[in-house]
Amino acid sequence: MDIGKAMMEIREAKGISRSEMAKALGIMSQSVWKIEKGKSWPKPKTIEKFCEVAKVPLVYLYNKSLTVEDYIWPE
């Protein structure tokens, strides 16, 4: 699961700058960068606020964040 990458793709597709998103989320721009680059994991309230700001359903973000490895079950 790569939620940061999915957040970045959605943010960019919506034409929202990193600094605008950071302000809307109430976090620092550097924190948004860390999330998008996979250096940190967003808090649940940050994920919910992101979806609100980007106007996307939470399920869309989670589905977009899934990778092939997420569908492979160990035997």
Model pTM above 0.95: no
Amino acid identity for residue 66 in this structure: L
| pLDDT tens, residue order, the chain (75 aa) | 799 999 999 999 999 999 999 999 999 999 999 999 999 999 999 999 999 999 999 999 999 998 877 777 777
pLDDT of residue 3: 95
pLDDT of residue 9: 96
In whole angstroms, what is the distance from residue 21 CA to residue 17 CA?
Answer: 6
For the chain, the first-to-last Cα distance in angstroms comes to 20
pLDDT of residue 30: 97
Spatial contact of 38 and 19, defined as CB atoms under 8 Å apart? no
Q: Which of 75, 27, 70 is nearest to 49 (CA)?
A: 27
Full set of structural domains in the chain with CATH: 3-71 (1.10.260.40)
pLDDT of residue 24: 97
